[in-house]
Amino acid sequence: MSSGELHDIYSVYELLRKNLCRIIFKKVTDGNVRVMLCSLSLDYIPKSKHIEAIQLISDPREVYLKQKVVVWDIEKDDWRSFYENTLLSASIAKQEKKKDKNEEEEEENEKITGLS
């Protein structure tokens, strides 16, 4: 990783718990480099997945034992993972929170009923 970026999986994990991050890593399956916009912050994870997220955040054994981080991939809208030995770069992304479908529907309903 280049200077100014995080150098260990534990720092990356802590960054992901509070931020939307851009992770660049090599895929284990084919060696291709992948850029992933992801987080472990509940601000970026759909409400329907909060229980899973809380379990991952409160029990980080995968990180400590396997050097593996499971994250919510914003663009794939699903859980994905990467390993420390495949991590090329980690940084905070400069993007607004993605609203989940329920939040979008609630906002649309408020507009229709004149509540906003």
pLDDT at 56: 85
85-104 burial, b if ≥16 CB within 10 A, otherwise e? ebbebbbebeeeebebeeee
Residue bearing the bigger pLDDT, 25 or 108:
25
**Of 102 and 65, which is predicted with more confidence?**
65
pTM above 0.85, yes or no: no
What was the pLDDT predicted at 4?
Answer: 43
Average pLDDT over residues 87-101: 74
Q: What is the mean predicted confidence (pLDDT) over 3-12? A: 67
Unique residue bearing structure tokens 């479908």: 101
Banded model confidence at residue 107, pLDDT cuts 50, 70, 90: low
For the cut 90, the answer to whether the pLDDT of residue 99 exceeds it is no
Query: Looking at residue 1, what is its pLDDT?
Result: 44
Could you report the per-residue pLDDT of 37-66, keeping only the tens digit for each?
999 999 999 999 999 999 988 888 878 788
- What's the pLDDT at 58? 86
